[in-house]
Structure 1
Amino acid sequence: MHMHDIQFIDMFCGAGLFSAAALAAGMAPAFAIDLSSDAIATYNANVRQVGVVGSVMDERTLPRADVLIAGPPCQGFSTLGRQDPLDVRNRLSMAVPEWAHRCGARVVVIENVPPFLRSSHWQELSSALGDLGYGVQTWELEAADYGAPQYRRRSFTIGSKIGDVQLPMALNRKITAGEVLSLPIGSDDPMHTWPTPVGIAAQRIPLVPPLGDKRDIMRAAPELCPPSWKKVGCQATDVWGRVNPDEPSNTIRCAFQNPSKGRYLHPTEDRVLSLREGARLQGVPDSWTFVGRPYPVARQIGNGVPVALGSAVMRSVVDAIRHEAVASTSVAA
């Protein structure tokens, strides 16, 4: 079996970061789907032109595939979301076993936030995969351990019909945010843009020193701070914070161009991260351009799996498939 013979389908593919990781691990995309037309336009421009706009609940014929990958919307499970157990988005995860059955996948990889593994939806999903003959493994991995310049814990549920998939080996060195942010960016890069701070934001940002955060603004200019900041006390100290260049960055979320949402100010310049810088912290090559207006593009970036983490997981899957192919060849011989 040649490496490029390993075909995969990507459900909820977004802009294609998980697909890019699978491609880097030696797989070929057969089909991808997402509700967002901007995300699919990004996918088709940068990964391969196999993406379609649509819902995973629609009737459609699927191509055969060895591997099915899926990152169902996590808002219902995220510690940041409202965690509504009846969230309609959570039902989407139950489409995964059905698709796995229909495309004949030998391995299924579901990426989500860690609390997903402790939800009733995961229980239901896991038993549905078990009923279809998949052995189920779960991993909770930290992206920074696998070469992503970003701290981001994610869960992976692996359903396999070919035996256990080996846990990927962590690297012995973390890549810092400064290493990727300090590389030059072309002046003509359409992604090197950020919202110009106006009004009170423009007054606050210059008051934040390197490594600083909202506490520095509170000390320097209490008049620029709402009363709620004092009430919150020590919580949410990362807001209005600068990225620490000597560590992996904080998790890049959809709102990474809003300084009130986290530690998203540039390490030294008086601005938030650019779209290109956010993409770099997710491991997206500079050759990628994203389709859409700035906030939808920031969402496409923030919703993705860091490419280095996805690649580590998918290399383990490729190894398992090749190992099984060798074993079945020698049995046949």
Structure 2
Amino acid sequence: MKYRLIDLFCGAGGMTLGFVDPRFGGSFECVFGIDSDWAAIKTHERNFRSPALAADIEAWLDQSPQIPHVDVVIGGPPCQGFSLLNKNRLDDSRRELWEPFLRVVAASGARIFVMENVAELKSSPELKALVSRASEMGFETACEVLNAADYGAPQHRKRAILVGWKSATIPSPPFPPPPSHSDPALAGGTPWRTVRDAISDLPPPEGVEIRHSPPPMNLHFGRSPTDKSVQRYKSVPPGGNRFDLQKNARALTPDCWIRKTSGGTDLFGRLWWDRPSVTIRTEFFKPEKGRYLHPVQHRPITHREAARLMGFPDEFEFVGTKIDIAKQMGNAVPPQLAGALAKMVEEMLAV
């Protein structure tokens, strides 16, 4: 019989996928998911055929719902409250959404929980409060910052992973899970998967809209850049960034970038063929937001390329508008990382 799980703040289901799909390491059954993003919930339902609810988790809990009994609760409370990109993070209420997460853990009878968040969680005062509350519930905990590239995702994505287990019945985990991939500069081991591994087989994109065609081309569409934008793209060499744009085409460079002489080395940058990608965020289609230009073609990466760099298989179906889907991708957990955690959790439960 498969172990049962609930996925909180589930989004499109990258973490669910790693836990339920044996290709990534897991063989669990997802019995419930919840997220406030309606389109993400539709994506989750489309791919997992399990009950899912589009709702605010605190409002839902206030209704005293019937919470399924499960073995494990997984999920990633919204990370913007901890992110260094959020200048108002000290007053952000999203920093406290671990509290309803633990309420569901308690109500579900779960013996293990796995929480995912930005790396800044590990050094936050909220982690101490969270660990203290979990201890009162009978859970031991461990927290480490893991890189998704070390587990087979073609993307550098460092995330804090907090694991909690009922110490009375569950042994301490082999945490963090042993990496399956490593920096090719280090001797031995399987090298990191690269941008080339993930997207080099794709032809040039077609059109500018989602198409009702088989994958991968359904999400492999471009944009409608201005002539000025195209000239900017052409001015950035392989591996280059906004500083190369300024050097090669100063007249095309925004004044704010010329005035800013330090930092932002990924802005308007090209991905490297033979490295994992940078972290894919929700606006990957805007090269001014990061290193999101194709390695050699004069354009930003497409939604299909972003999905592959996130580790999603082509047959995974996304629901929503272009903006909806980009948000789902940028907020997801690479299923390869989730799969490694799933194997660890399954070993813990089997003892």
TM-score category (smaller protein): over 0.9
- Residue in 1 aligned with 2:183? none
CA distance in 2, matches of 1:55, 1:49: 19
- Residue in 1 aligned with 2:232? 204
- Residue in 1 aligned with 2:210? none
Deviation at 1:276, TM superposition (A): 0.8
Residue 12 (structure 1) aligned with residue 4 (structure 2): no
- Residue in 1 aligned with 2:29? 28
Contact kept? 1:135, 1:163, Cα under 8 Å: no
Instruction: Provide the secondary structure at the position in 2 that maps to 1:42.
Output: helix
Contact kept? 1:254, 1:298, Cα under 8 Å: yes
CA distance in 2, matches of 1:319, 1:197: 50
Contact kept? 2:149, 2:157, Cα under 8 Å: yes
Instruction: Provide the secondary structure at the position in 1 that maps to 2:219.
Output: coil
Instruction: Provide the secondary structure at the position in 1 that maps to 2:113.
Output: strand
Q: How does 1:106-145 map to 2 (within 5 A)?
A: 106-145=111-150
Residue 170 (structure 1) aligned with residue 171 (structure 2): no
CA distance in 2, matches of 1:29, 1:296: 23
Residue 51 (structure 1) aligned with residue 52 (structure 2): yes
Q: How does 1:146-295 map to 2 (within 5 A)?
A: 146-161=151-166, 162-167=170-175, 168-171=177-180, 172=189, 173-184=191-202, 188=213, 189-295=217-323
Deviations along 1:12-47, one digit per CA (max 9) or x if unpaired, are 000000000111211110100011110001111112
Residue 65 (structure 1) aligned with residue 70 (structure 2): yes
Overall identity of the aligned pairs, in %: 35
The residue type paired with residue 51 of structure 2 is V
Contact kept? 2:122, 2:144, Cα under 8 Å: no
The residue type paired with residue 350 of structure 2 is R
Structure 2: which 5+ residue stretches go unaligned?
A: 181-188, 207-212
Deviation at 1:119, TM superposition (A): 1.6
- Residue in 2 aligned with 1:313? 341
CA distance in 2, matches of 1:11, 1:121: 18
Contact kept? 1:191, 1:289, Cα under 8 Å: no
Instruction: Provide the secondary structure at the position in 2 that maps to 1:10.
Output: strand
Structure 1: which 5+ residue stretches go unaligned?
A: 324-333
The residue type paired with residue 197 of structure 2 is E
- Residue in 2 aligned with 1:327? none
Instruction: Provide the secondary structure at the position in 2 that maps to 1:195.
Output: coil
Instruction: Provide the secondary structure at the position in 1 that maps to 2:114.
Output: strand
Contact kept? 1:29, 1:48, Cα under 8 Å: no
Deviations along 1:228-275, one digit per CA (max 9) or x if unpaired, are 212221311211111101000000011111000110011111111111
TM-score by length of structure 2 reads: 0.88
Deviation at 1:169, TM superposition (A): 0.8
Deviations along 1:141-179, one digit per CA (max 9) or x if unpaired, are 111111110001111111101121112111232111111
CA distance in 2, matches of 1:83, 1:240: 25
Instruction: Provide the secondary structure at the position in 1 that maps to 2:91.
Output: coil
Q: After the TM superposition, list the runs of 4 or more consecutive aligned residues in structure 1 that deviate by more than 6 angstroms.
A: none
- Residue in 2 aligned with 1:298? 326
- Residue in 2 aligned with 1:330? none
CA RMSD of aligned residues (A): 1.5
Deviation at 1:125, TM superposition (A): 1.3
CA distance in 1, matches of 2:148, 2:120: 16
Deviations along 1:165-215, one digit per CA (max 9) or x if unpaired, are 112111232111111111346974221123221253222112112212112
Instruction: Provide the secondary structure at the position in 1 that maps to 2:6.
Output: strand
CA distance in 1, matches of 2:249, 2:202: 34
Contact kept? 1:280, 1:286, Cα under 8 Å: yes
Deviation at 1:48, TM superposition (A): 2.6
TM-score by length of structure 1 reads: 0.93
